[in-house]
Structures are given as structure tokens and as C-alpha cells.
Structure 1
Amino acid sequence: MLPHPATATPNLRATPSPFAERINPRSAARKAQYDANTSGNISNEHVEGLRRQSNLSTLSLSPRRPSLAPSGSTATTRAPRRGTPLAFPANGMDGDDSGFLSQTMDEDAPWTMVDRMRNWRNDAMTQHLYDSAKFWGGKVLEMTGNPDDAFWLAQIHFLTHQFAQAERILTAPRPSSAASTSTAPPARLTDMSLACRYLAAQCMVRLGKWEEALDMVGRRGLGEGYNDGNGDGGIKLTASAAHLRGLIHLHMKSNELAKEAFMEALTRDVKCFESFEMLIGGEMMSTEEEWDFVQSLPFHAQTEDDAEFVRMMYTVRLKKLSHSNDMAIARQRLTDDYGLGEDPDVLFSRADELYNAMRYVECFKITSHIVLLHPYHRPTLPLHLYCMHHIPNLRSRLFLLAHEMVENEPDDAISWYAVGLWYFSGKRWEESRRFFGKSVLIDPRFGPAWLAYAHSFAYEGEHDQAITAYSTAQRHLPGSHLPLLFIGMQHLGLANVSLAEEYLLAAQEICREDPLVVNELGVVALHNQQYEHAVQCFQDALLLARRVQSSPSAWSATHLNLGHAYRRLNQWDKAHTSFRRVLELDPRSAAAYSALGIVEHQRGNVQEAIARYHESLAIAPGDPVTCDLLKLALDDISTRMSSTRFAFPGLPPRVDADLEEQVRALDEEIRAGETGRLAPPLESEADDVESVVAMQSASPSGIEVDMSEDEEDGGEGETMDMTGDGG
């Protein structure tokens, strides 16, 4: 007769236990009951060892294989036996760095039938034979009643998406073991183990039981009773539980609580990359806030040997508008010291920096290389797609890539974002909104799709709807300054200058290094007639643009705004220099030619001003502001001609001196002819007279500019904004 499994099972356990975390003092009474109920499976010394456990991985897929050779034997011909993943570790050690427990028990003890079935269950689970794993795991649990076996059976049900069954195993009260004579009431696995609570909460999330899942992992933290320790034994369960709490809070629209939970998860274990991605990739923190938080994480305390490596990998993923030198040093060290020059995250860091500097061609070269090596590197794909939108002649490639992504990943938000971006590139705003909307329905926190959705309204001139879309994006991306910036720009378009200033200042509080925000504040100052402040804002914007190594041509509008600010201050030379700088960066800037015409007109160079206006109209025919400016210049020169005596070139001085007398005599002859005293002139003479009369009788106010042909040929031209806002 076989001995009872609860007493005959040898302690050959290679996988750490989910019951290894410190017990919360609030559940001490339930733990005492559990100890009594399981006294047939674990000893008091074992329980004390569990209390000392702090930092072990939940599941090891490669347990150790102790030898079957007797102690002192040199036999090596027998096959090794595989350890079985169990919940309780066999020793009271804190755990080694690899996350495995050392085999401290007698390795010469014979294997029982339970050991072999546990071995079968483990092999079946690691080889994805889940039905076999459930079959043998169920038999082991029936024979032993061991909570370890219950936990791993629940894991198998979870992996096969049988969440309700896994939850029932973890939360159902378990009766006392056969070997126990205690009369204590049954206890649940979730009352005693954080790993079991974490797994049960994962099941509840999949089943849509959000409130129950939040109660299972705690609403505001695990409390002071959980001490993670300082060792490096894998991802800590406390960090995983905090991350799951953050996901639940996000689903329940509690962004601040979610942010707090993700920060707790990273603080408990810096290796919890999911929480880092939610905080940084999800734009939950401002630029300086995320920099200060990441640099203050306890890297050395938790990963002493790998602290610098982990810190640099996180550093290169932060926002690129500040601390660019530190990020460049981190990228260089990761390339030289760790051989990660071709790593997609390191390459993405440089591509993101170029994208923020508006150097789209260089960015596209790097993103193309990343996509070639890693076709579905998620952080890179939005940059790659947006660069294809900005670079001319790549629209066909954007179409092909979007088609391929939808075919391969139809449930991915980025795929439908790519389709919407192709329509957006063709200025088909309504069609693009349909696909951007589908993208944000799949992933409500996908920032690029929200911004593009709002841009489609802005380009159509639907300012109110654009503001609503930007506001929604701000709720989903509280750490991003871009929605606030774009809301401010929309209010500027509506001439709501005070509201625009409020939003722009709020955007500047989140990100002080963005030159575009400073440029828009300068435009607000122009509207408020604060010209000296406007000059300072535009100069600061250009300085920030140089600091981030941005493309100079991207900031021609800021030079144009600066020129208008100088013009308002009557500093004509500085204004002229700024407008000339605009033409150096963009030779086809109609607004710059018009602005130069204004400066020349103010200087008194009317002929030069008229030439500049004509150059502007050659680029933007029919522009109403430039046409009005040209008419003013023509009126001015006509007035000067009528009030000033000009010499006619080619005439002798004597004739020129008597010209006025001759013209007066001619007028008298014409009047005499009108009364019948003069004979009608010949046909050729009549033509000359009529032309002279027309010239003489034309008043300055009668000069007209026929714009019918210009308007017919020119189509719709952009109106030059005299404040520089349109530039």
C-alpha cells in the first residue's frame, strides 16, 4: 500500500512558490487557519521559510534536473529526473539571483507516483499540451489537496482562456487536508498568497469583473506589510499586482490613480517594463516629470550589476525635447559597451529625436531600417507612417504599407491609422476621419490617431469640432502638451486671443522646450500689440529650434513673424533682414515678398514696393491682401505724379521748358473744337488727342486695377496674415 501523498512526496521542488511573498498582517488570522489546514503538507519550519521569501519568480519553465545517482556514487548513466513546478519552495532561503531554489533536500529519495505526474503536468504545460496538463494536474490535486497543485492547475486553465474555472479554483474555500485533524474552517488560496490573488484578478479582468479585480489586488497599494527585499530574483509579484491595478484604474477612467499605480510598480521593480511603457509611451507624465522620476528609480538597489544598463535603456525612451546630450551619451554607450547599435529601441531613440526636430527625411531613413529588421516594432511604426506623409512622392508607398498592415493585423489600431493617414495625405478629410475613428475605437489611448482625427477638422476650418477632438485627446494623453497647443492655435483662428493664451501657457507648463509653443505665444503678443514681448518670444523660439537641431527651413514662419514684430516697432532694417531670411529659407514665400513690399513702401521706395507685390502675386495670384497693398502703392505713385513735374526723357530742354504752355494751348484748341470753332481732326490725330485727354483727365482716384483675369487664373490663394499667424 502506497503511503499518503501528503506525507510521502519528497521535497524536490525547483520552482518558486506563489505563496512566497510576505503575509499582510491584516490576514494573519486567516493565515493561522491556513497553516492549521495544511499542516499535513508543510511544517512550521517551512512556514517560517515562506515568511523569509521575498523576491522569486512565479513560474520557472526550466526547473533543475537533479541526478538519481546515490550519494557518493559516481554512476552517470541514469537519465536525470525533472523537477516539478510547485508553489512552496523547499527551503527558507531568500532565493538565488536566477529565480530558482537550490536543491537542499535529499536527492536520493525515490520518486513517487505524484512526483511523476507533476513532472508530466509540467512538461505538458511547457510544451503547450494543455489538455494533458489539465488531466494530470487534476489527478495530482485530487490525490494531494496541496495548494501548490491547485495554483498550477489554475494557471493551466488561465492559459487555455478558461478564466471562470481558474477563478473558481483560486477563490473557492478549500477543505482541510486528510492528514489534518484541525477543525478550523476552510480557507481560500487568495487569502494567503499574493500570486493567487494576482492570478484571480487577471481572471476577473478577462471576465469583466473590474470592481472585484480591484478589490483583489487592492485599491491603493498592498500596504506596509509587503516587503519586497532588495535581491534580484525576477519580476516581483508586488510590481505585477501594482501594474494590474493601474490597468484596472485606466479602464475605470481614473487616470491619476492609474498613474500612481504604474509609478508604484516601477518603484517596486525597475524591470517591470509594462508600467514604464504605460507611463512614457502613454504620455501620462510631463517632460521634466518623467525625466526626474526615471532617474530617481532604485536601479542600483534592485539590479546592482545591471543598473546602468537598465537606466540607459529607459533614458533613451524619454521625450527628446530636453536632455538631448544625456540621451546621446546613453545611445553611444549602449552601442559601444553593449553592442546594441542595431537594437530597435536604440535606433528608435535617434529616429524620435529627428522627428521632433522636423528632419523627416533623415528620420525616415532610420525608421525604414528598423522596419526592415523588425517589421512590427510598435513605437517605430507611427513615426515611419507620418514621415511618409510628410515626404513628397511617398504616398504610393504609404498606400502599399497600409494595405499590407490591414491584411496582416486587422485588429491593430496602427493598421487603420495608416489607412486614415493615406486619405489624409490626399486631403480627403472626411474619409480619413472614418479610419482614424476606427483606430481610436480599437485603442482609445493611441495618441497619433486622436491628433490626426482632430487635425482633419482643423484643416476643414471646423474649429469647434477640432477643439472638441483635441480636448478628448488631452483626457487620454494627460502628459502630452500637443493637444493643449493645438487647442490654443484653434482659438487663435477664432480670434479668441485670451483663451488661446491660457491654453498655450498650459502647454508650456508641460513642455517648456518646444519652440512651436513659444512661437504661438509670440503670435498672441502680436495680437495684443505687445510688440517687444513678441520679438522676445520669436527670438526664444528660434534659439530653442537651434538647440534641438531642428531644420532651419521648418522655422521660416517664425522669421516672418519676427519681421512683422520689427515692422510694428518701425525697425525697418531689422524687419527687412528677417524677411530676406525667410526668402533664403523658402524662395517661394508669397507672404515674405508682400512683407518686403510693405517695408519698401514705408521707406518711400514705392517702385521697389510695387515690384515686390508683383513678385508675390506671381506666386499667389489673386491674393486679396497683396492686391490691396498693390493698389495703395499705385495710388500713391499716381498722386505723386499728378503733383510733381516730371521731365520727359528724350525731349530737348527747350521743348521740355515750354511743354506746359503747349499743353495749355492744346487744351484751348480742343475746347474750341468742341464748340465748333475748330474743324474735326483727322482720324489719326483724333486717336492721339483722345489718348492725351484720357491721360490728362484721369484723377488719382480713378486708377483701377482689373483683377478679373487674375482671379480667373489664380484660383484660391492663401490670405497673408499680417500678424504672421498664417505663416
Structure 2
Amino acid sequence: MMRERELQKLRSVARDCLAKHLYSSAIFFADKLVTAGSGLAQDVYLQAQALYQGRQHRRALHLLRTHRLLSAHPRFRYLAAKCLEETKEWEECLAVLGDCEIDEHGNYQMNEDQEVEYCDQDGEDREINIAAALCLLRGRAFEALENRSRALRWYKAALKVDPYCYEAFEHLIDNHMLSSDEEAHLLSSLKFDSQDRWLSLLYSCQSKKYGQVSLIESKLAELEREPHETQLEEQAGCSLKDNTDVLACRADLFYHRGEFQLCYEVTKSLLEKDPYHLKSMPLHLGAALELGRKNELFLRAHNLVQEYPQKAIAWFAVGCYYYCIRQFDHARRYFCKATSLDVSFAPAWLGFGNAYAAQDESDQAMAAYRTAARLFAGCHLPALCIGMEYLRTNNLNLAQQARPKPFFMQARSICPTDPLVYNELGVMAFRNKDYEGAARWLRKSLSFVPPRLTDAWEPTVVNLAHTLRKLKLYTEAITMYEKALALSPRGASTCAALGFTYHLQGNTGIAIEYYHKALGLKPDDTFTAEMLTVALISASDQALLDTRNFPF
């Protein structure tokens, strides 16, 4: 038998090998340690950790079971369950984790043995509560088994046990498991320490942002503020200025406000600083797609496929490039590949549906959107896209009579502050000739848009102008058309509509000017050409009438 001094030396060597990622060496020394030390629980755990890190998952599980340690302490049970997670044996993983309860408030009921591992959170050595890790692993197992309702409960329980369990928060946010109201309620229920305000702020900034523009901006400003700039104890306490996650939050805010150029600039600078910050990559690709930056999309896609061929984001980038150059067959093929690699990657499902819709393949587009709606219950975009597809194919009855509620109303109930939802409600009312209702929805849409309008909101302004023209409110309609032209000066259809409105008012001369401008931008517009002819005839008739009445 080895002396205690020699055993301690072996423990130190094995731990150092793990720290240096020398897993074979760690396994070798830990194995000798277990044999020489008569199988002490701490030594068995060290060997099991080495086996797990060395990807010998079944051997690690066998070791823990052989020494009957699964019921000795939560950390042994957790490591055994992690081994089963790696081998995708989800049912057995849940069996090893054991039966536990969540009360009606979503709080996890900890046992006494689990509380042993709950370290002093006010001390310098802050550790994640083992109970939170157990809840997280249960959530992952239920999500893999497609029991998303139970997965949701366990992720929420993990966060409530320990707000530092970021992976649980990441699953809830990235997989769109909660609506915006549910996210806000969950964050308000978390018990952050006073010195953890920065974490509370960052969680808030990473959640859904519709209708919270000024609030999110103030929180981002607080996160970026230097400590000497404020004397208030409740402030963030540390500056996260130029932190990549904070920059990604700001880019996300710009994207949801329709400020794609600003979003693109922020994500580009972020990726220059950290080229492998994959969390910001969907935002960067989305902004580049909106701006038509096909060269940027090509280069990003090429690099991502080289670096991460097994990640969904790489093939999503390829799909975005082909979508940008309007090769929709190729786009949907790569979006499909992205969804096969990661079924929970929401942007790929939406891109998949959009690529089908761009080719008028409505049934396949609907299938993709419905799958997204099932997988991402907290995301309003799939229901919104389904409603938009029904509008595009002129199926107004299906768009309005869906059960349990119409698709646009479903989207509204999930995210009641997205301007695009109200724009589509306004379009549907317009199609139904309910012009007063359309005007009401479109005005509400613009009320949720930041005061500094960008060209992304030009269609909504034009839609409202069309509606006002139908209501014969010509002066207001002209104001909205002019606002739309300020946002997008080369809008041929807007020029034609503005000319038509002046024509209806009887201002034939101004109408002719705008008809000419519209035809200069789009010479093959038959409607504008016909209306220009009518206006010219009307103007000549009026001129002839004026000449006849002139007293020579």
C-alpha cells in the first residue's frame, strides 16, 4: 500500500493532467490512485471525471456504478447522468437523475443531500448550485425527448435555484420557449444579489426587445458606464463597455428596430474583434442579407463552412448567400441542412420557409413555418409568416378563421409590441375593404416604431397612405406618401401613388410631374402610363376651356 503522502502526490498529478487536458495521463494516474487508495469516493470521482473528459463515457458510468456511488452524493449522480447524456440515452439519464418535484410557483424542491453542495454565494469562491445543474440536465433530457413543456419547467427551475446557471437562460431565450411577457415575469422572479445587478441587466438586454427600446437602451448604457461615472450602489458596479455580448445585444436592438446598417456596422466591428463569436453571427448574416451584401455573405459562409462544418450556422450562412443572389433552390437546400444539424436553430427554419415562399411553393413554405411554430412556441414569427403566406396567396378566410385564433392574433398574443404584426393586420383589413380598421392598425404599427424612421418601415408608411387615400383623406395621404419618399426616394410606385392622389384632388399639373418621375424610375409601369395619358388629356381640355373663356 502507498503511503498517504504518495497518494496525495498522485492526486495532484491527476488533477494537473486534467487541468492541462492530458486526459490519457489523468486516466492512467487516477486509475492507480483508486487501486492504491482502496477506492476512496473522492479518488473514484477523480477517475470518473478523467474518463468523462477523455470521452470514455460508458467506462466512467461503469466505474461509478461498480463503486455504488450514484446515491452517495448529487455530484456523482450528476456525472453519471452527464455520461448518459453524451451517449444519448435520455430515458436512463432521467432515471439516474431521479424523481423530483417542482411546486406550483415553478420552484425546485431540494433534498437535504443536494443542499450540502449549495456553497456560500456571498463568499469569494462562488460556485453554481449542483441542484441548478441537475435541473438543467433534466431540461436537456426532456427537450431531447421532445417534451418541451417539461423541459421549459426544468430550465425555469434551474434559473430560480441559481441565476448564475446561464445555460438554462440560454436555452429559454435561444430556443424561444417563452413569450416576451413570460420572459419579463421570469426575470422579475429571479433572486439576484445586490452585487449581481450587471447580470440582471444583461439578462434583460438578451431577452425579447419589442416595445422596450428606450428601456433596453438605458440598461445597455448602464452596463457600458464606467464605475466612476456613478455613485449609486445599485448601478451595474462594473463596466462591460466593448464586451462582445453587450455589443451583440446592441446589434440585436438595432436589428429589431429595422436599423440594419447600424446592426451590420456593430456586428462587423464585433467580429473583427472576435471572429468566432457565433452568437452574433445570425444577426450579422441577417443584416447583411437585408442590405444585399452578397460579397460579405459569401466570405462569411466560406469561412464558417471551413471552420465549423458540423454547425448549423455555417450552412445557414450558405443559405443566406444563395437567398441574397436569388438562387432559392440552393438556398432552401442549405437551410434544410442547417435544420438537420440543429433542429432548434430558429433562423434556419424561417429561412427554409421563406425560400419556398419566394418560389410560390406555398405548401412547403407552410410546412416549414408550422414546424417552426411547434418548436418555438415563444416566437411570434412563425405564426406571423403563416398569416403573411395566406395573405400572399389571397386566402383571406384561412388567415382569419384559424383555430384557436387567427394567425396574426396568435402572433400578437405572443409579442404584442411588434410593429410588423400590426402592419399585416392593417393589410388584411385593407384587403377586406375595412379601410377604417386598416388605418387604425397601421397607425398602431407606426406607434411602436422609433421616431427616427428608417427605410425598413417605408412599406408601412405607404400602406397607411394608400388607406388614407381610400378614405378620401387626401391631404393626410399626401403627407404620408411624401414621408415614404423621404425614406426611399427611388420608390416608383410611391411616386405614382402620390401623383394619383394629386390627380384625385384635381391637381392635374402636380400629378403629371409625379407620373413622369415614376415612369423615369420604372418605364414599363402600365398603370402610371395610362394615368399620365388621362392626366395630359384632362390638362389639355382644361387649358382649352381656359382659353375659350379668356376675354380677347
Q: Per the shorter chain, which TM-score range?
A: 0.7 to 0.9
Residues 124/612 of structure 1: CA separation in 2 closer, same or farther (3 Å cut): closer
- Equivalent in 33, 38, 58 of residue 164 of structure 1: 58
How much does 1:290 deviate? 0.9
Q: Is 1:538 aligned with 2:538?
A: no
Decide whether the 8 Å contact of 2:258 with 2:454 is kept in 1.
no
Structure 2 residue aligned with 1:405: 304
The equivalent of 1:135 in structure 2 is: 28
Deviations 1:107-147 (A, max 9, x none): xxxx4443333333333333333333323322332341322
**Equivalent in the alignment of 1:686:** none
Cα deviation per residue 1:600-643 (whole Å; 9 max; x = unaligned)? 333344565455444333322333444554566578789x79xx
Contact 1:295-1:311 at 8 Å conserved across structures: no
Shift in Å, 1:230: 7.4
Give the structure 2 partner of residue 225 of structure 1: 111
Residue of structure 2 equivalent to 1:54: none
Closer/same/farther in 2, CA of residues 574 and 117 from structure 1, 3 Å limit = closer
Once the two structures are TM-superposed, the CA of residue 581 in structure 1 deviates from its matched residue by: 2.4
SS class of match (2:444): helix
| Alignment correspondent of 1:509 | 413
Indicate if the aligned counterparts of 1:572 and 1:599 stay in contact, CA closer than 8 A: yes
How far 1:268 moved relative to its partner? 0.8
Cα offsets for 1:336-361 (capped at 9, x unmatched): 12232111011111111111112122
User: Secondary structure, in 3 states, of the residue corresponding to 1:315?
Assistant: helix
Q: Distance in 1 between matches of 2:497 and 2:136?
A: 56
- Structure 1, residues 671-690: CA drift from partner, whole Å, max 9, x if none? xxxxxxxxxxxxxxxxxxxx
1:209 paired to 2:89: yes
Shift of 1:429: 0.8
1:207 aligned partner, one-letter code: T
Partner-residue secondary structure (3-state), 2:163:
coil
**For residues 307 and 614 of structure 1, do their structure 2 counterparts lie closer, same or farther at Cα, with a shift above 3 Å needed?**
same
Which amino acid is the alignment partner of residue 190 of structure 1? L
Are 1:485 and 2:384 an aligned pair? yes
Shift of 1:235: 0.8
**566, 569, 573: which one pairs with 2:475?**
573
Instruction: Map 1:176-195 to 2 at 5 A.
Output: 188-195=68-75
Distance 1:632 1:371 in 2: 55
SS of the residue 1:299 aligns to: coil
The 1-side partners of 2:222 and 2:517 are apart by 52
Structure 2 CA distance for partners of 1:498 and 1:231, relative to 1, 3 Å: farther
Aligned residue-pair number? 522
CA distance in 2, matches of 1:419, 1:358: 23
| Counterpart position of 2:143 | 250
Q: 1:347 to 1:607 in 2, by over 3 A?
A: closer
- On the 8 A contact 2:399/2:407 being kept in 1, the answer is yes
Higher helix share: 2
SS across alignment from 2:178: coil
Per the alignment, residue 591 of structure 1 pairs with: 493
8 Å CA contact 2:110–2:131 kept in 1: the answer is no
Shift in Å, 1:577:
2.3
1: CA distance, partners of 2:89 / 2:343 = 20
Instruction: Report if aligned partners of 1:437, 1:453 keep a CA contact under 8 Å in 2.
Output: yes
Task: Tell me the TM-score normalized by structure 2.
Answer: 0.87
Structure 1 equivalent of residue 248 of structure 2: 348
**2:375 paired residue number:** 476
Ranges in structure 2 where 5+ consecutive residues have no aligned partner: 102-107, 228-237, 401-405
SS at 1:455's partner residue? helix
Contact 1:218 1:245 in 2 (8 A): no
Where in structure 1 are there 5+ consecutive unaligned residues? 10-110, 175-187, 654-727
- Per the alignment, do residues 168 and 566 of structure 1 end up closer, same or farther by CA in structure 2, a change over 3 Å counting? same
Map of 1:428 onto structure 2? 327
Q: How far apart are the structure 2 equivalents of 1:312 and 1:356? A: 19
| Cα RMSD for the two superposed structures | 2.8
* Residues in 2 aligned to 1:437 and 1:190: alpha-carbon distance in whole angstroms: 41
Partners of 2:110 and 2:314 lie apart in 1 by: 44
Distance 1:121 1:573, change over 3 A: closer
In structure 2, the residue matched to 1:59 is: none
Structure 2 residue 405 is matched with structure 1 residue 519: no
Query: For residues 417 and 243 of structure 1, what CA distance do their matches in structure 2 show?
Result: 27
Distance 1:116 1:539, change over 3 A: same
Cα 1:594–1:157 change in 2 (3 A) is same
Deviation at 1:648, TM superposition (A): 7.0
The structure-2 alpha-carbon separation of the partners of 1:612 and 1:162, relative to structure 1 and needing over 3 Å to count, comes to same
Of 16, 38, 49, which aligns to 1:155? 49
- Partner SS state of residue 30, structure 2: helix
| Structure showing greater Rg | 1
1:126 is the counterpart of 2:19? yes
Q: Which residue number corresponds to residue 283 of structure 1? A: 176
**Distance in 2, Cα, partners of 1:299 & 1:414:** 33
**Superposition map of 1:275-674 within 5 A:** 275-300=168-193, 306-335=195-224, 336-337=226-227, 338-392=238-292, 394-501=293-400, 502-546=406-450, 549=452, 551-606=453-508, 608-627=510-529, 629=531, 646=545
Residues 616, 645 of structure 1: CA spacing in aligned structure 2 closer, same or farther, 3 A cutoff? closer
Output the CA distance in 2 between the equivalents of 1:342 and 1:647. 69
Partners of 2:119 and 2:82 in 1: how far apart?
A: 26
Please give the per-residue CA displacement for 1:292-331, whole angstroms capped at 9, x wherever unaligned: 211320112xxx5x32122122222122223333333332
Query: Does the 8 A contact of 1:270 with 1:297 survive in 2?
Result: yes
Q: Secondary structure at the match of 1:364?
A: helix
- Aligned-residue offset at 1:412: 2.0
Answer whether contact 1:360 1:387 (CA < 8 A) is retained. Answer: yes
Cα separation, partners in 2 of 1:113 and 1:558, compared to 1, 3 Å: closer
Deviation at 1:219, TM superposition (A): 5.7
